[in-house]
Copies of this chain bind each other. A is one copy, B any other.
Amino acid sequence: MINKKKFVAVIGGSECSKEEAKLAETVGRELAKQGAILVCGGLGGVMEAACKGASAEGGTTIGILPGDSRQAANPHVQIPIVTGIGYARNAVVVKSAQAVIAIGGSYGTLSEISHALQSDIPVIGLNTWSLSKNDQPDNSIIPAQNPTEAVDKALNLATR
């Protein structure tokens, strides 16, 4: 594998608030500025906003789609991967990245966070899920206060 660039997944809801979209777009811009490749689920909401930001800065965007049609990709996906495996593709999104940034999101995003943590892929969280087990907090999701901090932490941890 000859690519020296880092692959970072941005995950979140296919519908999202304006605030989340703004966070995602800034994350996408920062990733592109710092030379990273954006991986996402290829659909709308957070995924689309992140792709829009990355594309605006000349970055590369990969969309790993659940369905059977490349046409389902948002307009800023440059490399659509058409899996046809439904939401089992959530595991593929995170495994294809060296670090993950989670922004908001619902249960699909939580499944991606879980698959990432199960595979020892670092997860940075922006206004997203927090976890506890048997009433003990689990601090595996690394918090970030803003998009720049999230990108910096992701790139520092994307070493595998």
- Chain A interface (Cβ < 8 Å from any Cβ of B): 1-3, 7, 37, 55, 60, 62-64, 68, 70-71, 73-88, 90-92, 95-96, 98, 104, 106-108, 110-111, 113-115, 117-119, 127-135, 140, 160
Contact = CB atoms under 8 A, between A and B. Distances in A.
- Pairs A-B, 10 closest by C-beta atoms: A111-B114, A107-B118, A1-B73, A110-B114, A88-B88, A82-B95, A85-B85, A84-B86, A107-B117, A88-B91
Overall SS of chain A's interface: mixed
User: How many copies of the shown chain assemble into the complex?
Assistant: 4
Given A111-B118, A114-B108, A79 B3 contact: yes
Contacts of A1: 63, 70-71, 73-75, 77-78, 80
Contacts of A90: 91, 115
